């Protein structure tokens, strides 16, 4: 299978779409597909790093997407589609939806687009709706992959598209997060954390929608003796300046050991996961239209056998299985406090959920995601007893049946 993947984000950009595009390309290659990735160069020559990747990558000049870039992306999509023979042409994110739709007449390949959540709401303005309708973006040849059941259902609500062509395919977790790490004792020694401390870790940008202040409020609901035994490690870059200032001021007044570790390497985060007792990220629903389409960080923590305390918003229930890989609660301080108390004090429950978190992370591999996304049914059949079943089991069959007959 020859796959052309168009993405507006890629390495060295980490997280979100950049991670999705890289990992699904690697996984599809490992499953035997020939993958060509078209991605921005962010203003630098990336050839040295790109040669280390197991697939071809073609860089175009540019960085973060702007609507001013749309004409150049339309021309780029046309050039790339006619540059070779492809079975699948995949727009990994919204900026390439219109360019791919306008160029699909140049190829008989299957047309695939992935939606991640927030962009579904952001495309509801009259101008964008008109552009989508005029370009026929979600025409009859287009299959839509959503990163969670929530995103799938949101798309179905916003667009009048045949529901048979929109499928929930949860993301995967990289093998890296299962890799070797420093011992629990060694990492705790580096961080100056005693062996008797209960360690809760959060990895997320310090921004309102990630709910750090809500977690802090929940800590105030804990019994004082438990709160004083707890160490909360906050990992991630700063977001809105006023929010970060409020969070730091509130943390300084809290009767708890809170530590802002800032931005760390993935290797450092993996070590800290191994030294922690559970993960906590209590995201909030937003009126702005931004949504938590999935929640990949919960799986990364799960790969270190960390159960999660998570809020039941957006696509998080696909990343954290309630009662199996973590505790899923409403975004309410006292209920979050109860979940934290359970994981901090009930070692049997924590151990059971830790095993479930590790199993869930293993099940949601990137190879499984690539197999379901591209219809690599051989992999899906070989692993049916090991991996989580597709959330929309008809997708591999639909992709296979949609494959055009090409001459040998």
CATH code, domain with 238:
3.40.50.2000
The band of 378, judged by pLDDT with boundaries at 50, 70 and 90, is: low
- Residue 279: in which H helix or E strand, if any? strand 278-281
The whole-number pLDDT of residue 365 equals 94
Q: Does residue 73 form part of some domain?
A: yes
Rounded CA separation 311/327 (Å): 8
Q: Domain check: are 187 and 281 in the same one?
A: yes
Q: 88-102, 121-135, 139-153, 380-394: which has the minimum mean pLDDT? A: 380-394
- Tens of pLDDT, residues 145-179: 999 999 999 999 999 899 899 999 999 999 999 99
Asked whether residue 375 carries a pLDDT value surpassing 70, the answer given is: yes
Burial class (CB in 10 A: 0-12, 13-18, 19+), 257: middle
Helix residue ranges per DSSP H, 210-285? 212-220, 224-229, 241-252, 266-275
Q: Does residue 149 form part of some domain?
A: yes
Asked whether residue 189 carries a pLDDT value surpassing 70, the answer given is: yes
Enumerate helices (H) and strands (E) in the chain, giving the number of each. 19, 13
Q: Does residue 334 form part of some domain?
A: yes
Average pLDDT over all residues of the chain:
91
Asked whether residue 400 carries a pLDDT value surpassing 70, the answer given is: no
- Tens of pLDDT, residues 114-143: 999 999 998 899 999 999 999 999 999 999
The dihedral over CA atoms of 162, 403, 58, 169, expressed in degrees to the nearest 10, equals 50
The percentage of residues in the chain with a pLDDT greater than 90, rounded to a whole number, is 82
Summarize the confidence of residues 313-322 as an average pLDDT.
Answer: 96
What are the residues facing 37 on neighbouring strands?
5, 57
Query: Global pTM?
Result: 0.87
Asked whether residue 13 carries a pLDDT value surpassing 50, the answer given is: yes
Contacts of 322 (CB under 8 A, 6+ apart): 312, 328
Kindly report the backbone phi and psi dihedral angles of residue 114, in degrees, each rounded to the nearest multiple of 5, phi listed first: -110, 130
Asked whether residue 35 carries a pLDDT value surpassing 50, the answer given is: yes
Strands 308-311 and 230-235: unpaired
Q: Does residue 163 form part of some domain?
A: yes
Q: Domain check: are 333 and 394 in the same one?
A: no
Q: Domain check: are 95 and 120 in the same one?
A: yes
Q: Domain check: are 100 and 115 in the same one?
A: yes
Q: Does residue 158 form part of some domain?
A: yes
Q: Domain check: are 189 and 290 in the same one?
A: yes
Asked whether residue 49 carries a pLDDT value surpassing 60, the answer given is: yes
Q: What is the 3-state secondary structure (H, E, C) of 100-116?
A: HHHHHHHCCCEEEEEEC
Rounded CA separation 52/312 (Å): 39
Contacts of 146 (CB under 8 A, 6+ apart): 114, 115, 152, 155, 166, 167, 168, 169, 293
Summarize the confidence of residues 275-299 as an average pLDDT.
Answer: 92
Q: Does residue 408 form part of some domain?
A: no
Within 10 angstroms of residue 359's Cβ, the number of other Cβ atoms is: 16
Q: Domain check: are 188 and 150 in the same one?
A: no
Q: Which of 133, 171, 167 is nearest to 27 (CA)?
A: 171
Q: Domain check: are 81 and 156 in the same one?
A: yes
Q: Which of 45, 26, 19, 47 is nearest to 266 (CA)?
A: 19
The whole-number pLDDT of residue 65 equals 84
Summarize the confidence of residues 250-262 as an average pLDDT.
Answer: 92
- Residue 93: in which H helix or E strand, if any? none
Q: Does residue 133 form part of some domain?
A: yes
Q: Which of 199, 223, 179 is nearest to 338 (CA)?
A: 223
The whole-number pLDDT of residue 94 equals 94
Q: Does residue 407 form part of some domain?
A: no
Q: Domain check: are 74 and 214 in the same one?
A: no
Kindly report the backbone phi and psi dihedral angles of residue 34, in degrees, each rounded to the nearest multiple of 5, phi listed first: -100, 110
Asked whether residue 389 carries a pLDDT value surpassing 70, the answer given is: no
Domain region containing 151: 2-171+365-402
The whole-number pLDDT of residue 16 equals 85
Contact 331, 282 (CB under 8 A): yes
Number of structural domains in the chain: 2
Q: Domain check: are 250 and 285 in the same one?
A: yes
Asked whether residue 319 carries a pLDDT value surpassing 90, the answer given is: yes
Q: Domain check: are 207 and 339 in the same one?
A: yes
The band of 407, judged by pLDDT with boundaries at 50, 70 and 90, is: very low
State the DSSP code for 254. S
What are the residues facing 114 on neighbouring strands?
145
Q: Domain check: are 164 and 209 in the same one?
A: no
Contact 371, 384 (CB under 8 A): no
The band of 376, judged by pLDDT with boundaries at 50, 70 and 90, is: confident
Q: Domain check: are 167 and 179 in the same one?
A: no
Rounded CA separation 396/312 (Å): 29
Dihedral sign computed on CA atoms, order 68, 71, 74, 75: negative
């Amino acid at each position: 299978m020859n796959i052309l993947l168009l993405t507006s984000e890629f390495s060295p950009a980490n997280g979100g779409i950049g991670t999705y595009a890289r990992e699904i390309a690697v996984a599809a290659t490992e499953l035997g597909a020939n993958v060509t990735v078209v991605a921005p160069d962010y203003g630098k020559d990336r050839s040295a790093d790109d040669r280390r990747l197991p697939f071809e990558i073609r860089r175009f000049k540019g960085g973060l997407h702007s609507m001013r870039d749309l004409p150049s992306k339309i021309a780029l999509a046309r050039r790339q589609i006619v540059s070779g023979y492809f079975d699948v042409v995949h727009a990994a994110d919204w900026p390439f939806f219109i360019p791919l739709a306008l160029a699909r007449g140049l190829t008989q390949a299957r047309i695939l687009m992935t939606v991640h959540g927030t962009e579904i709401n952001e495309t509801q303005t009259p101008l964008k709706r008109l552009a989508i309708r005029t370009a026929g973006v979600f025409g009859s040849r287009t299959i839509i992959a959503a990163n969670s059941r929530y995103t799938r259902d949101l798309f179905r609500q916003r667009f009048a598209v045949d529901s048979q062509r929109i499928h929930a395919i949860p993301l995967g977790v990289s093998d890296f997060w299962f890799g070797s790490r420093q011992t629990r004792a060694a990492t705790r020694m580096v961080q100056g954390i005693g062996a008797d401390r209960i360690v809760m870790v959060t990895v997320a940008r310090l921004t309102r929608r990630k709910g750090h202040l809500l977690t802090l409020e929940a800590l105030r609901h804990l019994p004082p003796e438990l709160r004083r035994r707890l160490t909360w490690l906050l990992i991630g870059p700063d977001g809105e300046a006023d929010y970060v200032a409020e969070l730091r001021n509130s943390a300084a007044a809290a009767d708890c050991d809170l530590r802002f570790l800032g931005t760390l390497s993935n290797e450092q985060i993996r070590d800290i996961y191994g030294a922690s007792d559970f993960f906590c990220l209590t995201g909030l629903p937003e009126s702005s239209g931004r949504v938590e389409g999935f929640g990949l960080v919960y799986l990364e923590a799960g790969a270190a056998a960390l159960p999660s305390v998570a809020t039941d918003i957006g696509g998080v229930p696909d990343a954290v299985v309630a009662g199996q890989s973590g505790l899923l609660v409403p975004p309410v301080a006292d209920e979050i406090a109860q979940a934290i108390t359970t994981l901090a004090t009930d070692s049997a429950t924590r151990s059971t959920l830790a095993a479930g978190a590790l199993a869930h992370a293993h099940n949601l591999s990137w190879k499984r995601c690539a197999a379901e996304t591209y219809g690599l049914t051989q992999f899906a059949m070989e692993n049916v007893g090991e991996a989580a079943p597709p959330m929309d089991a008809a997708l591999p069959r639909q992709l296979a049946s949609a494959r055009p007959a090409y001459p040998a």
